[in-house]
A and B are shown apart, each in its own frame.
Chain A
Amino acid sequence: NAGVTQTPKFRVLKTGQSMTLLCAQDMNHEYMYWYRQDPGMGLRLIHYSVGEGTTAKGEVPDGYNVSRLKKQNFLLGLESAAPSQTSVYFCASSSRPRNVAGGEQFFGPGTRLTVL
Chain B
Amino acid sequence: GENVEQHPSTLSVQEGDSAVIKCTYSDSASNYFPWYKQELGKRPQLIIDIRSNVGEKKDQRIAVTLNKTAKHFSLHITETQPEDSAVYFCAATSTGTASKLTFGTGTRLQVTL
Chain A residues in contact with chain B, CB under 8 A? 31, 33, 40-45, 48, 50, 56, 58-59, 90, 94, 97, 100-105, 107-110
Contacts and interface: CB of A to CB of B under 8 A. Distances in A.
Nearest to A3: B43
Q: What 9 A-B pairs are tightest by C-beta distance, nearest first?
A: A102-B32, A101-B32, A107-B43, A42-B103, A101-B95, A42-B105, A43-B103, A104-B46, A101-B31
B100 to A, nearest CB: 6
Category for how many chain B residues contact A: 20 to 34
A109 B41 CA distance: 9
Interface string B85-112: 0000100011111111111111000000
Contact of B100 (A42, A58, A90, A104): A58
Contact of B1 (A41, A59, A94): A59
Contacts, number: 70
Contact of A102 (B6, B49, B104, B105): B49
Interface of B is mostly: loop
A94 B99 contact: yes
A31 B98 contact: yes
B106 A42 contact: yes
B101 A50 contact: no
Interface of B: 1, 6, 9, 30-32, 34, 42-46, 49, 51, 89, 93-106
A110 B93 CA distance: 22
B62 to A, nearest CB: 15
